[in-house]
Amino acid sequence: MKYILLLLPLLFILLIGCNDTTKEKEEQNVTLTISAAASLNESLTEIKDQFEKEHSHIKVVLNFGGSGSLQQQIKQGAPVDLFFSAAEEPFNELIEEKLIDQTNHANLVKNSLVLITPKENKVSSLDDLKNASIERIAIGTPETVPAGLYAKQTLISRNLWDSLQSKTLIRTKDVRQVLTYVETGNVDAGFVYNTDALSSSKIKVVEEISEDLHEPIVYPAGIISSTKNKEAAILFYEFLKNDTSTEIFNEYGFGTIK
């Protein structure tokens, strides 16, 4: 009995230690929500998988969509830890409103815009979009989808925008929907990023759009100021800039910003 009484304090200490360890382990498990442009789907998914292998206590949830729509979600208080946009304008608005951390943001990659058609289509240039046989052209909604805005700027620069208003311009919720419409033959042509075109064997790239016809296509990323997981968010943000991520971005057709 005497020995049992002597062991009780030791057992009590061990139980407290186990509880503390369990509590500490639970506190270390973090879920990060990343809102990112739809055109980053494949590359960012691969980067996420690599990151989670190196940081097993952090789970990354990817929320893809049009950059303008994602921006509005953040402005309305959506629980997001990091925003990865396909354009500077919606991103800079969040910086101005101090919704993006002032010290943890940067332009990470760049892209280019291309005109695509179904493989059987005979369109060979931007000017062919005026042809009577071209009835439906898909673009991302310019107000919320950067690729759609770049497409609109391109058509205005080539004096095509006004003449194409008489055609059925199909506006989409994101650039990947444009790709789907072209793949399935629901439209005669569409504007997507080069990285989107590279992901599909069902379309034909008609023309890579000159950078002179639209604003620069750069992708800024930054941590949301209100994140409750800042340490983990910084880890992911820095991972996006390392050599592993750069190689993955390059494999999917993105250019590196020096």
Per-residue pLDDT tens over the stretch 26-75: 447 999 999 999 999 999 999 999 999 999 999 999 999 999 999 999 99
- What integer pLDDT is reported at residue 25 of this predicted model? 44
- What integer pLDDT is reported at residue 22 of this predicted model? 42
Residue 175 known to bind ligand: yes
Q: What global pTM score does this model have?
A: 0.83
Residue 67 known to bind ligand: yes
Residue 226 known to bind ligand: no
Residue 189 known to bind ligand: no
- What integer pLDDT is reported at residue 166 of this predicted model? 74
What is the 3-state secondary structure of the chain? CHHHHHHHHHHHHHHHHHHHHHHHHHHHCEEEEEEEEHHHHHHHHHHHHHHHHHCCCEEEEEEEECHHHHHHHHHCCCCCCEEECCCHHHHHHHHHCCCEEEEEEEEEEECCEEEEEECCCCCCCHHHHHCCCCCEEEEECCCCCHHHHHHHHHHHHCCCHHHHCCCEEEEECCHHHHHHHHHCCCCCEEEEEHHHHHCCCCEEEEEECCHHHCCCCEEEEEEECCCCCHHHHHHHHHHHCCHHHHHHHHHCCCEECC
* Domains, the chain, ordered by start: 28-111+218-256 (3.40.190.10), 113-213 (3.40.190.10)
Q: pLDDT category, 127, cuts 50, 70, 90?
A: very high
Per-residue pLDDT tens over the stretch 85-96: 999 999 999 999
Residue 205 known to bind ligand: no
- Mean pLDDT of the chain, nearest integer: 90
- What integer pLDDT is reported at residue 122 of this predicted model? 79
